[in-house]
Amino acid sequence: MPLGGGNKCGRCSKTVYFAEEVLCDKRSFHKSCFLCMVCGKNLDSTTVAVHMDEVYCKACYGKKYGPKGYGYGQGAGTLSMDKGESLGITHETPAPHHRPTTNANPSKMAQKFGGSDKCPRCGKAVYAAEKVIGAGSSWHKIGCFTCATCGKSLESTTLADKDGEIYCKGCYGKNFGPKGFGYGLGAGALAHTQ
């Protein structure tokens, strides 16, 4: 504390006396100077956000330094078109080598159908919320990601595939596994195969 009074205010640089002092980030402020740098709202310990030597309300801080994009709104169901120009944020256009590809030749494994993968079982579009990947293809989790022989619902740990089709391990073993003595399905099993 310097001689002749208190600390210097982090906003106006004048002396701050004890009765009017607000402490934030190891700095002193007058109560009347403890305001958001952008919108000028009064701040307190629950609404302040500090960046470098600047103090903001949480809303302005979020607009200026928070994550950008869909899903980072200010409340439930909000979508703001405010890009933060009033906060000094400038937006750059991406360099030509960072633009999305316009390649019309999709990979051999991904069968595109209306902008999404095509399910090999039903032939319909598979969207992200219902997508399961198995045997190099995207399948519908409900109804299509099942054994081709018995119809049992599959998981990634119970899946076996052959020629692009998926099977439960039991059916796969019966249909494509080794045959003969000693290759039964359980302990002591003996299967007669033709």
What CATH number has the domain bearing residue 59?
2.10.110.10
Number of structural domains found in the chain: 2
Would you give per-residue pLDDT tens digits along the chain (194 residues)? 445 667 898 889 899 888 888 888 888 888 899 999 889 898 888 888 888 888 889 888 888 877 766 555 555 455 555 666 666 666 665 555 444 444 444 444 444 444 678 888 888 888 888 888 888 888 888 889 899 989 888 887 788 888 888 888 888 888 887 776 655 555 555 555 55
Q: How far apart are the C-alpha atoms of 111 and 117, rounded to whole Å?
A: 6
Query: Is residue 36 in some structural domain?
Result: yes
CB 145 within 8 A of CB 153: yes
Provide the β-strand partners of residue 48.
Answer: 57
Query: Is residue 28 in some structural domain?
Result: yes
Query: Is residue 54 in some structural domain?
Result: yes
> Where do runs of H (alpha helix) occur along the chain?
58-65, 169-176
13 exposure class (CB count in 10 Å sphere: 0-12, 13-18, 19+): exposed
Query: Is residue 79 in some structural domain?
Result: no
For residue 52, what are the domain limits? 21-65
Query: Is residue 106 in some structural domain?
Result: no
pLDDT at position 61 is: 85
CB 128 within 8 A of CB 149: no
Which of 30, 49, 65 is the last residue before a domain boundary? Answer: 65
| Residue that is written with structure tokens 């019309």 in the block | 104
